[in-house]
Amino acid sequence: MVNTNGKIDTTDAGVQANVSNSLRAGPRGYNLLEDTTVRKKMLHFDRERAPERVVHALGHGAYGEFESYGDWSNLSRACWMQQGAVSEVFSRFSVVVASVGGSESGRDTHGFATKIYSECGNQDFVGNHLSSFFINDGADFPDLIHAVKFEVDKGFPTGGTAHPTAYDFFDHHPEGAFQLMNVLSDLGIPRDVRHISGAGVHTFRFINAQSQSTLFKWFWLPKLGHRSLAYDEVTKIAGKNNNFQRVDLYNNIEAGNYPEWEFAVQLFPDDGTYMYKGYDLLIPTVIVPFEVNPPVKLGKLTLNRNFNNFFAEPESISFAPSNVVDGVSFVPDPLLQWRLMSYDDTSTHRHNSPNGYTLPINRPVAPVNNNYRDGYMQPYIFEGNSISTPNGIGGVQEPGQNATLQYAQASDWFAQARLFWGSLDVYARQHTVDAYRFELGNVGDATVVQAYIDNTINKVDNCLARRVAYGVGADMPAIGSGPMTNLTNATTPYPSLYPLNPGQEANKSNEGLTVAVVANDTLFTEAGFHAVMALLAPQKVSLAVVAPRIGELQTGVTANASYITTSSVFYDAIFIGSDGNGTTGAGLDLISMGFVMEAYGHGKAIGALGSDGAATLQSLGIANEPGVYSGADSTVTSDVLAALSGPVRFPQRFPVDDVSA
Ligand code: HDD
C-alpha cells in the first residue's frame, strides 16, 4: 500500500517538483516545450483509463474470508476445503450489460465472483446470482453479448435488454427461456448484493487424494435471505443514486454488518455419463432443483473489509474460472470450456500484458515459481539462467496431470421455464408478466415481438403468452395453443426455484436495512425517536429522518435527509412521525403524503406512530390495508420490523390482471 498524504510532490522519477504550474515564456507568454514535468503529468493522465470489461463492466467489491466448516478431504484435496482452513478472499459484484457509470440496480443477471487466496493458490468462483444461463455453447457468447448490449446503429438503449436485437437473439435461443424468465421475475431486480445468491451454473469436479472424482454445482446462499426491489423503484433509484448497491455494501461493512454466504454444493456421482436422475450435467441451462438434490454446506464466506482503491482492487482484479487449485477441475461443458480461455485472454487485454497476475490484487499468497518471463510491465527481476522446463540445471521443477470425456443432449428447453412459472405466486407472476411487457413493449419491432411470444413464451405457458401479448398489442396465441400451467399458486414441486415467495424465508434478519420517518418541525418528537430507535438499533436497522430540510428541526430531532436529496425508494419501510398531541394527520403536507404513498404503492410496510396514527392513515385512505400499522410507537415499530423479516412487501397492493376469463 502506498500513502502519499502529506508528502512533498515529486515527478515519477522521484524528483521534488511543482506540478501545478505550467512553465511559460513570461507571465502572459506561451507554454514552453521544456515543461517536461507537467508534460509527464498530462501524459499519465491521458492514459489513466484501462479498458472496461467487455461484460460485467459495472461492478464493485470487498475483501473477506472463507472458512471451511469441516474436513472435506473425502471430496477434494483442495487445501481451502480442509479442516479449519481460513483463507482471505475478494468478491466482486457486477451487472452484465451496463457499462461503467450505469445503474447497478438495473434488471440484469448480477455477477458474483470470488477469489480465494488460499495457501495452495488462487481459487476463483466466477458465478452469477441466478443458477442457469442463456446459452449452452461458448461459441454463442459473443453473439449473446452483441445482441443484449445497445443497438450499434443507434447507441441505445444502454444497460438493458428491452430492444429488438436482444429479443431476436432470445427467439433463436430457446435454451435461455428459463434464465430470461428468472431475470424478468423479481429475482432480476435484487435490493442489493447482500441479499443475492451466487451460483456457478456449470458442473465442476472435485478430486480427492485418492484421485476419486465427485461432480458438483456450487452456490453461495445468503444468510440474510433474498430481497428484491419493485420495478418502479429500480427506475427511480437509477435516477437518484445509481450506486445504491455499492453504497449499501460499503456502508454495511463500515458499520460492522458483515454479509455472510454459505458455500453449498450439490454433489453428483461421477459415473462417466454426466447424467443425474435424467438431468444432463453438461448443459449449463439445465438446473437440478434443490428438492431433487439438496445442497450440502461446506463453508462460509464473510465480507468484512472495504477496499482502499477502486482502480487497483475491484477494477484491476482478474477472475477466471480456469483459476482452480489442485483438487478442483472441470467437465466437458462447451460453455465452460470457452470460459476457461476467455477470462485469461480478457485479463491480458485489460492489463495490456500477461503480467496482470503480478498486480497486488491478483497475486496469490501461495508462492509463484515458473518460467513465465518478460513482457510489458514485468515487475520482477528474476535470478539465474534456467528458464525452461524440464531442466536439469536448477530451474523450476514440474509436477503433472489431465483427462478427456463426452456428453449427451436434452431438448425441451421450455419445461424448466414452465416449472419456474408454476413456482410463482399470483403477484410474482404479475411482476414477471409486467417485465415481459416492459421489455417487449420497448422492442419496437412487431415481428421480433410476435416471434418471441409464439416461439418461446407460448411454448412455456399459453396463459402467460396471452397475457404478455395482450399487454403489448401483439396477436394473442389461441387458447390452448400452448401448455396450460395450473393457475393456482406455487404448483411446483420445487419451491426453491423462487425464494422470494411469501413464507419461503420467514424471519429473515433485518440487518443493514433502512427505515425512513416522515418528520417536520412538529412531527416526530425526541420521545418518538428514542422509542423507535430502542427497537431498530438491536436489529441493526438504521433510521433516516426525512423532512423538508436537513438539519435540526424545532422538535430537537435532526433530519438527515430532505425530500430533495432522497426518495422513498431508498427505504425498506416508512414511519409517519407523530407530534404526540393527536394532530398528526393535519401535519402531513402533499410532498410527505406523496413520499408515504409512493412507498405504499411499492408494497412497503407503513407505520403511523402515536395516538393519532390511525387518523393519519384514515386521511390517506390506507388505514385498513395489510402491512399498514398504527398505535403506540413501540407497537408500530415492532409491527414494521416483523413485516420486514416476514413478508417484506405486501404485493396485494399491486394491480393484478384479471385472468378469470
Ligand atoms: Fe463471463 C466476466 C460470470 C459465461 C466471458 N463473467 C464475468 C464476470 C462474471 C461472469 C461474474 C465478472 C468477473 C469480474 O467481476 O471481474 N460468465 C459468468 C457466468 C457465465 C459466464 C456465470 C456462465 C455460466 N463469460 C461466459 C462465457 C464467456 C464469458 C461463455 C466467453 C466464452 N466473462 C467473460 C469475459 C469476462 C467475463 C469476457 C469479461 C471480464 C472478465 O471476463 O474478466 O472473459
Q: Evaluate whether residue 33 is within a structural domain.
A: no
Where does the pLDDT of residue 402 fall: very low under 50, low under 70, confident under 90, or very high at 90 and above?
A: very low
Q: Evaluate whether residue 310 is within a structural domain.
A: yes
Where does the pLDDT of residue 409 fall: very low under 50, low under 70, confident under 90, or very high at 90 and above?
A: very low
56 a catalytic residue = yes
Under 8 Å between Cβ of 219 and 200? yes
pLDDT confidence of residue 579: 83
Task: Give the closest residue (by CA) to ligand 1 atom 7.
Answer: 56
Comparing 23-27, 144-148, 499-503, 637-641, which segment has the lowest mean pLDDT?
Answer: 499-503
Nearest to 246 by CA among 310, 296, 201, 300: 310
* 453, 518: one domain: no
- Residues with Cβ within 8 Å of 580's Cβ and at least 6 positions away in sequence, in order, are 525, 527, 528, 610, 611
290-314 pLDDT, tens digit per residue, is 999 999 999 999 999 999 999 999 9
* 217, 145: one domain: yes
User: Pairing relation of β-strands 110-118 and 86-95?
Assistant: antiparallel
Greater confidence (512 vs 395) lies with 512
Q: Is the pLDDT of residue 401 over 60?
A: no
Residue showing cell 443484449: 148
pLDDT confidence of residue 461: 95
Gap between the Cα atoms of 607 and 592, Å rounded: 14
Name the catalytic one among 122, 128, 242, 252: 128
**Which CATH number goes with the domain that contains 423?**
1.20.1370.20
The answer to whether the Cα torsion of 415, 420, 426, 430 is positive or negative is negative
Where does the pLDDT of residue 404 fall: very low under 50, low under 70, confident under 90, or very high at 90 and above?
A: very low
Backbone angles phi, psi at 382, to 5 degrees: -85, 145
165-221 pLDDT, tens digit per residue, is 999 999 999 999 999 999 999 999 999 999 999 999 999 999 999 999 999 999 999
Q: Evaluate whether residue 403 is within a structural domain.
A: no
CA dihedral 555, 561, 566, 568 (to 10 degrees): -40
- Considering all CA atoms of the chain, what is the largest pairwise distance in Å, rounded to the nearest integer? 90
Task: Give the closest residue (by CA) to ligand 1 atom 29.
Answer: 339
Comparing 138-142, 476-480, 500-504, which segment has the lowest mean pLDDT?
Answer: 500-504
**Which CATH number goes with the domain that contains 638?**
3.40.50.880
Q: Is the pLDDT of residue 529 over 90?
A: yes
* 232, 335: one domain: yes
Gap between the Cα atoms of 580 and 610, Å rounded: 6
For residue 133 and ligand 1, the question of a CB distance below 6 A is answered with yes
560 a catalytic residue = no
CA of 163 to the centre of ligand 1 (A): 22
pLDDT confidence of residue 405: 33
* 218, 330: one domain: yes
* 492, 521: one domain: no
420-479 pLDDT, tens digit per residue, is 998 898 899 999 999 999 999 999 899 999 999 999 999 999 999 999 999 999 999 999
* 607, 634: one domain: yes
Mean pLDDT of 480-504: 79
* 541, 568: one domain: yes
Last residue of a domain, one of 358, 376, 407: 358
Mean pLDDT of the residues in the chain? 92
Q: Where are the alpha helices (DSSP H) in 473-605?
A: 526-536, 584-587, 590-601
Q: Which domain holds residue 470?
A: 416-497
For residue 356 and ligand 1, the question of a CB distance below 6 A is answered with no
For residue 467 and ligand 1, the question of a CB distance below 6 A is answered with no
Gap between the Cα atoms of 526 and 537, Å rounded: 16
* 473, 612: one domain: no
* 467, 553: one domain: no
Q: Which atom of ligand 1 is nearest to the CA of 200?
A: 22
Q: Evaluate whether residue 2 is within a structural domain.
A: no
88-104 pLDDT, tens digit per residue, is 999 999 999 999 999 99
Q: Is the pLDDT of residue 164 over 90?
A: yes
Q: Evaluate whether residue 210 is within a structural domain.
A: yes
Mean pLDDT of 371-400: 79
The C-alpha cell that represents 351 in the structure block:
492489463
**Which CATH number goes with the domain that contains 301?**
2.40.180.10
Q: Evaluate whether residue 169 is within a structural domain.
A: yes
CA of 607 to the centre of ligand 1 (A): 43
CA of 267 to the centre of ligand 1 (A): 24
* 265, 163: one domain: yes
Q: Evaluate whether residue 409 is within a structural domain.
A: no
Q: Is the pLDDT of residue 400 over 60?
A: no
* 465, 521: one domain: no
Q: Any bridge partners for residue 115, and if so which?
A: 90, 124
Domain total for the chain? Answer: 3
Q: Evaluate whether residue 633 is within a structural domain.
A: yes
* 132, 277: one domain: yes
- Residues with Cβ within 8 Å of 329's Cβ and at least 6 positions away in sequence, in order, are 204, 205, 206, 207, 213, 403
